[in-house]
Amino acid sequence: MQRRAFIRGLAATGIIGSGFGLSGFARIANAANSISVDQLPKLTGELTLYLGRGEGGLYENVLQAIQDRNPGFKLNIRRGATAALANTLIAEAKAGVKRADLFWAVDTGSIGVVTDAGLAKPLPQDLIQQLSPGFQYPLWSPVTGRIRTLPYNTDRLTAAEIPDSILALADSDVKIGWAPAYASFQSFVTAMRLLEGDKVTKDWLKAINGKAKKYAGELGVVMGVERGEVDIGFANHYYTLRLKAGKPDASVSLAYTNNDAGCLVNASGIVALSDGELPVNFIRYLLTKEVQSYLASEAYEIPLVSDVASPPGLQDLSTLNPPELDLRKLADLRPTINMMRSIGLL
């Protein structure tokens, strides 16, 4: 599926020409049937969206397609780092200034900051029920999912040699790559704190720090694994899948831990900050079959509605065992930052 074709097709007819079959991947169980853009009302009016980093412009393509399909609709976009935009929203609210109608964030920690501040407007039940159980929240809508994984060099390791516990890696002799300053990694550490406690998490970070190679971001981690600079790394799933899509013979594959922070399923999400039907109807577009299919096939993110396949190359979702955790609790980031700073990671 080409990006230009997606924009043209969604804007014109709502049908993506290439289609996207199930190909044996697990469907999102018990979610309502996905909705096509053809079933949605036209958007009319003006909204301002605060947009966190948009996955290399892919979110921008979606937003442009929605605007092209709705000529009576104007979308003003303020772009920035997700955490910085969340802090801006809090500061604006304290100052009595309201500039944003919607906030689309790439991590749930920032979503939690905004909802905890009382800025989010409730969503209608029919919209909430379109999402998979476990991703249904009254004050925000997940858009796509991402799972923490262990990308590993297939010339150096086999899947059987990789422990299924994230904690066990601290005692292993494999060379590890990580990106401690990266927001997704910090959300993962926050999840570990919540699941395992501060002492276990701090001891684990110290142990990994003694053997790990630092990278600026998680794409760099995956590329380092593929080049053989390290044996294994910590990264969201889609970085490996994107690399493999462009280089099918790359010496990298994915391993998953079991029921711990190492296989946490996180999500990008959107919050309505203004009352009325227009912000809610805009969110409905992001949950359509067309948009979810595009983000799954181009961004390699996990769709959260039924009738849309998971991205190619991802292990069958029904075989994974992520921990149960209210994703909004990942907003508790300050103790994580303080912990990482105390041991020299930041």
Residues 77-97: what's their mean pLDDT? 93
pLDDT exceeds cutoff 80 at 7: no
Q: pLDDT grade, residue 16 (50/70/90)?
A: very low
Give CB contacts under 8 A, 24+ apart, made by 116-120.
116/328, 116/331, 117/89, 117/90, 117/93, 119/89, 119/90, 119/93, 119/271, 119/273, 120/271, 120/272, 120/273
324/125: higher pLDDT: 125
* Per-residue confidence (pLDDT) for residue 54, from 0 to 100: 59
Residues in Cβ contact with 316 at an 8 Å cutoff, skipping those fewer than 6 apart? 24, 25, 26, 310
pLDDT, position 65: 95
Over residues 188-202, the pLDDT tens digits come to 999 999 999 999 999
Q: What is the mean pLDDT of the chain?
A: 88
Confidence band of 293 (pLDDT split at 50, 70, 90): very high
pLDDT value, residue 18: 25
Looking at the predicted structure, is the pLDDT value of residue 19 above 50? no
Local confidence band at 13 (pLDDT 50, 70, 90 cut-offs): very low
Q: Tell me, what's the pLDDT at 74?
A: 97
pLDDT higher than 90, residue 40: yes
Per-residue pLDDT for 61 more than 80?
yes
Name the more confident of 237 and 108.
Answer: 237
**CATH of range 147-263+332-342; options 3.50.50.60, 3.30.2130.10, 3.30.565.10, 3.40.190.10:** 3.40.190.10
pLDDT surpassing 70 at residue 93: yes
Residue 239 annotated as part of some ligand binding site = yes
Asked, colleague to colleague, whether 3-145+266-322 and 147-263+332-342 share their fold, the answer is yes
Percent of the chain with pLDDT over 70: 90
Residue 173 pLDDT more than 50?
A: yes
Which residue ranges make up each domain of the chain? 3-145+266-322, 147-263+332-342
Identify the pLDDT of residue 48: 98
Higher pLDDT, 31 or 209: 209
Q: Which residues contact 176 (CB under 8 A, 6 or more apart)?
A: 169, 208, 211, 212, 213, 230, 231, 232, 233, 234
- Report the pLDDT averaged over residues 99-114: 91
User: 279-291 pLDDT, tens per residue?
Assistant: 999 999 999 999 9
pLDDT above 80: residue 55: no
Round to whole Å and give the CA distance between 122 and 321.
Answer: 30
Q: Which DSSP string do the residues of 248-298 spell out, in sequence order?
A: TT-SEEEE--SSSGGG-EEEEEEEE-S-SHHHHHHHHHHTBHHHHHHHHHH
Note the CATH number of domain 3-145+266-322. 3.40.190.10
- Res. 106 pLDDT band, cuts 50 70 90: confident
Tally of residues, the chain: 346
Task: Decide: 60 and 75 in contact? Cβ < 8 Å.
Answer: no
The whole-number pLDDT of residue 269 equals: 93
Whether the predicted pLDDT of 91 surpasses 70: yes
Res 42: pLDDT = 96
